[in-house]
Amino acid sequence: MSYVSSTAHQAKFSLAEPASAMGVLSNAGLEADKALVKLAA
- 1-7 long-range CB contacts below 8 Å, 24 or more apart? 1/33, 2/33, 3/33, 3/34, 3/36, 3/37, 4/33, 4/36, 4/37, 7/36, 7/37, 7/40
Per-residue pLDDT at 1: 66
pTM confidence score: 0.52
- If one counts the domains in the chain, the total is 1
| pLDDT one-digit tens code per residue, 1-41 | 667 778 788 888 888 888 888 788 777 777 766 666 666 65
Enclosing domain of residue 32: 5-40
